[in-house]
Every structure is written in structure tokens, then in C-alpha cells.
Structure 1
Amino acid sequence: MTLKTLPAARAAAEHATPRRPTPRWSRMQDPLFNTGAVVVLLCAIAAVVYPLYFIAIASVSDPSAVYEGKVWFAPSGITFEGYQRIFADPKVISGLQNTVVYTVLGTAISVSAILTGGYALSRKDLPGRKFFMLLFVITMFFDGGLITKYLVVRDLGLMNTVWAVVLPGAVGVWNLIIARSFFEHTVPDELREAAQMDGASDFRFFFQVALPVSKPLIMLMVMIHVVAHWNSFFDALIFLNDDSKYPLQLVLRNILIQSDVSSATGSAGDAASYAAQQRIADLTKYAMIVVSSLPLMIALPFMQKHFTKGALIGAVKS
């Protein structure tokens, strides 16, 4: 009796219990889909990586080979003349030192101001919190312009100083909003109240509780400002008039302009002289791109994990 009724009971149970729909992720275990996704991702990677690789191999290749299309995956006619000419100029070393100073100092000032300002704006008990936030937001839509900025820097006596490069853009409002949102959703009021019950002051809570749990945000702000200060040259171009204080980007810009001018001047002479000047200009261009980009390309991958986490936490929960 049991042997006969068991299959029927099993069938009835299977009929009574509806089957769960196949999860979407299991439906995507299709070899054709996986192959197509891999191909698309490889194409995207190639589109991003190959231009950088081409610049690197072109900087050590003969410009004639580059023009003739002989440089694709390996350098041709290897030469380091472009790098030699760049580093033979003492202004490049000075510019590199200045850029490191501007980047470290500017990043420290900006990150400190954004963290403290973002935390203060995240506190619901801050008097005039909405008013201060409105003032910051207004600056995102209305800007005084370059002339006003120049007059302010001049009247403050910052012209031709390091402060003219690092102070005018020290606080970005968008970064301040990200920091405020991060603190609002990561550091709850209950945690601050518990710390106050233990006798912790606001300063102690900020430095010993809020900052240690804000490592993703700190790394995000550090990366943003390191890249911004390293690549910045416009403020130095406007506010600095001493060559010894120029950052690396401005020094390389001047070298590039001089190379183009030399090439144009050489065109008035014989063809051999023009070709030689053009060859030097091309080598210098590729070498300058590598010299200015390589330090960031080496440093940023080590902070990428914290950068992604900080960007998601600060931006999504806004």
C-alpha cells in the first residue's frame, strides 16, 4: 500500500508546491552571453590601454617610423633623445619638486577643510546649518570669474607664492557635499550620544571616532585632490611670474611651445633643418606625456579599492 501510494503522493506534493522561477543570474550562465561579455570588455580595455601603450612606445621610437605606421605593438628605431632633452633642462627637475610640494600641501589643506566642513554640516545641531549649506551651493551656480579671482588673490598678497596655487580652489562644494552625506550615513547620532555620555568632547569624537571610520572617504578625497593638483597648471600660469616656482605641467607646456616655435622657425631654412626640429618636437611631446602621467599611473592603482568604496558611499547615500 505504501509503495503504491508513495509515487502518487510525491506527484501531488510536486504539483501542490509551485516551482520557483529560475533566477536571472543562472539564466546568464550562457556560454554565448559570457563570450560576448568577455569580448566587449576586452575591446573596452584595449580602447583605454592601447593609447597609453602607444604613447609609451612612440616616446622611444623614431618619429619617422611613427609617421610611416611602423609602430603598432613594439618600438621601432629605439631612441631616448626625447627623455634626455627633457631631463637635461634643470627647470624640469625644479618643476617636479614644485609639483610635489603643491600636491602634498594642497591635498593636505583641501582634505582637512573638506573633512572638517563636511562633518560640521552633517551635524543636525549646527546653528545655521541650512544657511551655510545654501551659501556653498550658490557658489556652484554663480562664479565671480577669473578677473574677480585674480583681484582677490592680488589684494590678499598671495601673488607669486605657493598659496596662490593651493588656496583659491582648496574646497570643492561637490566634494563637501559628498563628505557631508558620508558622515550623515556612516556616523549615526546614537554613536555621538554614547561618546558624549562617556565624557568625549566634540573634537575627541571627531578625531577618535569619526575619522577612523572614514578611511574610504579620506582616500577618495586624497585621490581627487592629488590628481587635480598634479595636473593643474592654469592657476600657476595666472598667479606665478617666477620660473623657479613653476609646476611640472607648466614647465612641460613651455618646453612644448618652445619646440613648436623652433620647428616653425626651422621651416624657413633648409628642409633638413626643419625635419630635425620636427623630429625633436615629436619626441619631446610623447616623452612629456609619459613623464607627467607615469607617477599618477603608478600611485593610483594602490588606492583604487578605497576610491571606489568612498565614491559609492558618499554619492549614492546623498
Structure 2
Amino acid sequence: MTTLIRRTSGNRSRRPVWQEPPTPLGQGLKAVAFTVLVAGVLFPLWVILVTSLSSRETIARAGGMVVVPRGVDTSAYETIFAGGAVTRALWISTLVTVIGTAIALTVTVLAAYGLSRPGSLGHRWLLAYFLIPFLVYPPLVPRYLVVTGLGLKDTIWALVLPPAISVFNLVVVRGFFQGIPSELLDSARIDGASDFRTLARIVLPLSRAVIAVVGLFYAVSYWNVWFDALLFIDRNDMYPIQRVLQSYLLAGQAPHTSGSSSGVTMPPTEAVKMAVVVLTVAPIVAVYPFIQRHFVKGVLIGAVKG
């Protein structure tokens, strides 16, 4: 009887497998897997950067993409900025990203706050209305007719207003707002604070993580806008950077340089293409470290906690 009790207590004190300390073999396998994953992400970026800074002879010797650099040649970047098309496209994309992210965050936060309050007028019907396009994506032809009918074609508003709100981001922000203790909101209401004051002074300071993550999602979406530009933008001077990148990579168009090109040696096509890719990726890579601390917390919102 004593032996049975000892065995039972020993089995109860045994920890689950995921709570056991990692073995040296497990740590080694994790390190190898992590190294392979990081190399798989960084290697293409390295090849793109090195190729954009390579000369014609280096690219010809490598047979295309360059892995080992042999000198630095910035002629591809000089040619791109001399033409003005990429510079103008970068300005259009920056303008669309800043204005679109500001509008999308404002609309998402206001809608999520209203839908998160149980006593708000018609919040159940409005939530169902928002979920309809999330389940059934609107057809392309009616969307095109609406945008052109409103006179938004060939303007930045054709790239800003149609994707101004994401139902997924709305649901995420609404769920976070519902997790805020109701006692805080009730105390603010007792003190005479209006809904907008409560949102600005209490809800938003507690929601910096989720707003940073949703803002990053919106900013990346606006920066990478390409399909809407293909549909609604016909003027070359209104192309965003992704549309210019598509014309360089797929359509095979050469960058337009200002002035006469007689006697000027054009850089290799591969270097120009990779330079445009670098200019496209660099802004997002530069912004991400500033919101990384909020991003780690924000992506865990809604996770299972034990």
C-alpha cells in the first residue's frame, strides 16, 4: 500500500513534456533550424543588395545575380534618381501610406470602440454589416464602377479610400477594447467624461500595442499597393513605387533619364531592377525596429494564456 502511494505521488509530480528543460540535442537542433531560417531570409536580400551595387563586368562574370561583391558601383541608383520616375513614385507611395494609414487607423479605432460598447445603438447589426465583406469579398467590377463613378480615378484617393478599413483589423481592435475593464470606463463616465474623452484619455493609452500592430499592417498594405494602382491609375506620373517596380521587372521598361543620353553608358538592367527592389523594401525595414517592442506584444493579443 505504501509503495502504491509513493508511485502515485511520483507520477503526479512529473511535469509535462513541454515544461521539461531542453536537452543539449534539442538546443542544437533549434539553433540549426533558426540559423537556416535566418539564412533563408537574409540571403535573397544580400543577393539583391550586392547585385544592385555591382558593375556590368561583375554581373556578366556571375552570369546574372551576384553573391560575392567585387567593388561598389552606384550607377544604377544614379540612373534611377536622374530619371525622376522612381523619385516621384517614392513620393506618391509615401503620401498614400501616410494619409491612408492615418485615415484607416482613425476609422478602425472609432468603429471598433463603438462596436465594443454593449449599449451602443445597433452595434450587433453594424457588426454583422461589417462582417459581410469579410465573408463575401465584393466583386471587382462594381468596385471599379464605384471608384470611377466618384471621380477618384487617376488620383491618390483611389488608392487610399477603397481599402480604408480592414474587417480583420477591426475585429482584432474591437476584441482588445472589450478586454479593457469596464470599471475604468464606468469611472470615467461618472466623472462626466464623454465617449471621445474616454477613448482619448483611457482606451487609447492602454491600446498602444494593438494600434501599433494594426498601424503596421495598414502601412505595409498601403506601401505595397499594386493591384489598385493597376486598375485605377493610368497616368505615369501617378504611379506608386510598386507599379514602377512591376514595369521594370515584368514589362522590361528601362528607366527614363533626364537630358540627352548620348555618350552615357547605361548600367546593367539587372542592377537597375535590384536597385528598385532595394528602394521598395528599405522604408519598411527602416520603420519596423521602432515599433518592434509593440509588435511582439500586439501579435500575442488573443493568444491562449495558461
**Counterpart residue number, 2:140:** 146
1:82 aligned to 2:82?
Answer: no
The AA in structure 2 aligned to 1:84 is E
Please tell me the root mean square deviation across aligned C-alpha atoms, in Å: 2.7
Q: Is the 8 A contact 1:65 1:77 kept in 2?
A: no
**Counterpart residue number, 1:271:** none
More deviation, 208-217/49-58? 49-58
Q: Distance in 2 between matches of 1:87 and 1:252?
A: 14
The AA in structure 2 aligned to 1:64 is A
Give the superposition deviation at 1:207: 1.0
**Counterpart residue number, 1:294:** 282
Runs (5+) with no aligned partner, structure 1: 1-14, 263-275
Runs (5+) with no aligned partner, structure 2: 1-5, 255-264
Q: Is the 8 A contact 1:256 1:284 kept in 2?
A: no
Q: Is the 8 A contact 2:212 2:298 kept in 1?
A: yes
Q: Distance in 1 between matches of 2:226 and 2:8?
A: 69
**Counterpart residue number, 2:21:** 28
Q: Quickly say closer, same or farther: Cα 1:89–1:125, change in 2 above 3 A.
A: same
Q: Distance in 2 between matches of 1:236 and 1:29?
A: 50
Q: Distance in 2 between matches of 1:49 and 1:256?
A: 21
TM-score with structure 2 setting the length:
0.85
Q: Is the 8 A contact 1:179 1:217 kept in 2?
A: yes
**Counterpart residue number, 1:227:** 220
Q: Distance in 2 between matches of 1:232 and 1:16?
A: 63
1:240 aligned to 2:228?
Answer: no
Q: Is the 8 A contact 2:248 2:273 kept in 1?
A: no
1:106 aligned to 2:100?
Answer: yes
Q: How many residues align?
A: 287
**Counterpart residue number, 1:126:** 120
Q: Is the 8 A contact 2:76 2:275 kept in 1?
A: yes
Q: 2:163 aligns with which of 166, 169, 183?
A: 169
Q: Is the 8 A contact 1:102 1:166 kept in 2?
A: yes
TM-score with structure 1 setting the length:
0.82
Q: Distance in 2 between matches of 1:37 and 1:216?
A: 29
Max Rg structure:
1
Q: Distance in 1 between matches of 2:9 and 2:223?
A: 61
1:65 aligned to 2:64?
Answer: no
The AA in structure 2 aligned to 1:283 is A
Deviations 1:224-280 (A, max 9, x none): 11111111122222222332222122223334456x267xxxxxxxxxxxxx99x72
**Counterpart residue number, 2:48:** 55
Give the superposition deviation at 1:134: 1.1
Give the superposition deviation at 1:212: 0.9
**Counterpart residue number, 1:38:** 31
Give the superposition deviation at 1:77: 5.3
More deviation, 138-147/106-115? 138-147
Q: Distance in 2 between matches of 1:42 and 1:84?
A: 35
Deviations 1:95-121 (A, max 9, x none): 111111111000000011111111111
Q: Distance in 1 between matches of 2:220 and 2:17?
A: 39
Q: Is the 8 A contact 1:216 1:310 kept in 2?
A: yes
Q: 2:272 aligns with which of 264, 284, 287?
A: 284
